[in-house]
Amino acid sequence: MTDIMTDTAFDRDHLWHPYTSITSPLPTYEVSHCEGVNIHLKTGESLVDGMSSWWSVIHGYNHPKLNQALIDQSKKMSHVMFGGFTHEPAVTLGKILLDMTNQAFEQVFIADSGSVSVEVALKMALQYQQGIGKDQKTRLGALLGGYHGDTLGAMSVCDPENGMHTLFNDYLPKNHFLPRPTTKPNQPLSIEDKTNLDIYFNQYGKELAAVIVEPLVQGAGGMYFYDKAYLKQLKNLCEQHGVLLIFDEIATGFGRTGELFAFIEAGITPDILCVGKAITGGYMTLAATLCTDEVSKGICASKSGVFMHGPTFMGNPLACAVAIASCELLLESNWQSQVQQIEKQLKEELLPLTESNKVEDVRIKGAMGIIEMKQPIDVASAQKHFVSEGVWIRPFGKLLYITPPYIIDKKALSKLTHVMSSFT
């Protein structure tokens, strides 16, 4: 029966989409192909991409160099198990990641998705504490307003209220949350944050294995920026209380904020780092968890003697090959000036919208432009409007935001900001 249904009808009745209902779904648009910063719909429209397919497609779609990396690797092997084998794509990617993160880490766990890399980071922290004999350190800490992925462990460190996960609270482990930082960018640590951090560590420091945060920019939990002064104080307290610090740079990594990684901009090195999203230029699902030698040694001193994680597709050669090509492309491009150019133009074209009485706040950093509205946005109708205007922007909650590919030109970016302006 299903073969006589149109693609969109089949999709509506049979396929789950992110955070949507099967009984009352949001509309979906069928994409035929993509090129550069343009997404082409089956119905003929062409949309300027404002999202980079959720932070990932930084070099644009259908890039010849990335395509070639996949073709070349597929002729050697698309996959081989990582248990007992290794291969050049994994080794080269490991080296690149350690280099790009300024040799601040020693070991790399190549994971299959951002959420998995967070699970890996959390398990690393818990095993480390067991390994060094701190058996009472069995809880995790996180910030209110944070987002770390959709798997159960990752969910347990996402914002428990405004996150998408309130439904599961009875099931999830009870972790300890810090208030959202109030220290705004370029400001000294607020008294409020200092006090909150002190109280928090006095109360929970003994039971915490690790604190996980998205450094400088909280992404899916509200597109919220805060200053490095907060991270500095957090790092100090973590050290004093024997708590590992995990940075989740799955969204901020690979240049989005204007630096290769936010931890480099902040000048604060965590014990464990998660990267993902843009790692393959948006070509395949891949992520990585990097850690220091001290963390690895602690893990290996734990009862099992090994790190207890090993997904089937760990170190997938195709994904590693395209990640290598994407990282090389990034490093040999003038990404920093591209991102600065985007930031400058976003400031010019979006900051004036602060004046609108429908707008609560406008925030810009690197290649991220965020308009926080006073009222929640109706996604279905907003999306329809954006598509009719030839752009792809997907709002959530009160947030109308763009994270365009770094290669976007001035004219295409203006098209995005123009449509955003007309919406406010």
Ligand X SMILES: *Cc1c(COP(=O)(O)O)cnc(C)c1O
Write out the catalytic residue numbers: 19, 147, 248, 277
* Member of 61, 105, 147, 283 binding ligand X (CB under 6 A): 147
Distance CA 181, CA 193 (A): 6
**Per CB under 6 A, which region of 107-115, 168-176, 192-200, 263-271 contacts ligand X?**
107-115
256 contacts ligand X (rule: CB under 6 A): no
Min separation Cβ 298 and ligand X, Å? 24
With CB under 6 A, what is the number of residues at the site for ligand X?
15
- Bridge partners (DSSP) of residue 355 are none
Task: Report residue 293 as tokens.
Answer: 């030698």
251 contacts ligand X (rule: CB under 6 A): yes
Min separation Cβ 201 and ligand X, Å? 23
Distance CA 150, CA 172 (A): 12
Going residue by residue from 259 to 298, which x/- string records binding to ligand X, judged by CB under 6 A? -----------------xx---------------------
**Residue with smaller CB distance to ligand X, 131 or 276:** 276
Min separation Cβ 158 and ligand X, Å? 9
148 contacts ligand X (rule: CB under 6 A): yes
366 contacts ligand X (rule: CB under 6 A): no
Name which of 116, 117, 118, 138 is nearest 127 in CA terms. Answer: 138
315 contacts ligand X (rule: CB under 6 A): no
Min separation Cβ 6 and ligand X, Å? 29
* Member of 110, 231, 250, 370 binding ligand X (CB under 6 A): 250
Cα Rg for the chain, rounded, in angstroms?
Answer: 22
Min separation Cβ 263 and ligand X, Å? 13
Task: Report residue 183 as tokens.
Answer: 């220290």
Integer CA distances (angstroms), 57 to 161, 211, 372, in order: 30, 29, 24
Name which of 153, 144, 101 is nearest 125 in CA terms. Answer: 153
**Per CB under 6 A, which region of 247-255, 289-297, 356-364, 398-406 contacts ligand X?**
247-255
Alpha helices in 77-190 (DSSP H): 88-100, 114-131, 152-155
Q: If you write DSSP's letter for every residue of 27-96 in order, what string do you get? A: P---EEEEEBTEEEETTS-EEEESSHHHHT-TT-BS-HHHHHHHHHHHHH-S---SSS---HHHHHHHHH
Min separation Cβ 385 and ligand X, Å? 26
166, burial (CB in 10 Å: exposed 0-12, middle 13-18, buried 19+) = exposed
* Member of 214, 227, 265, 349 binding ligand X (CB under 6 A): 214
Residues 110-139 that bind ligand X (CB under 6 A): 113-115, 118
* Member of 220, 231, 377, 393 binding ligand X (CB under 6 A): 220
Name which of 85, 122, 105 is nearest 309 in CA terms. Answer: 122
Residue nearest to ligand X (CB): 114
* Member of 149, 205, 215, 255 binding ligand X (CB under 6 A): 149
Name which of 83, 152, 168 is nearest 118 in CA terms. Answer: 152
Who contacts 191 (Cβ-Cβ below 8 Å, separation ≥6)?
none
408 contacts ligand X (rule: CB under 6 A): no
Residue ranges that bind ligand X, judged by CB under 6 A: 113-115, 118, 147-149, 214, 219-220, 248, 250-251, 276-277
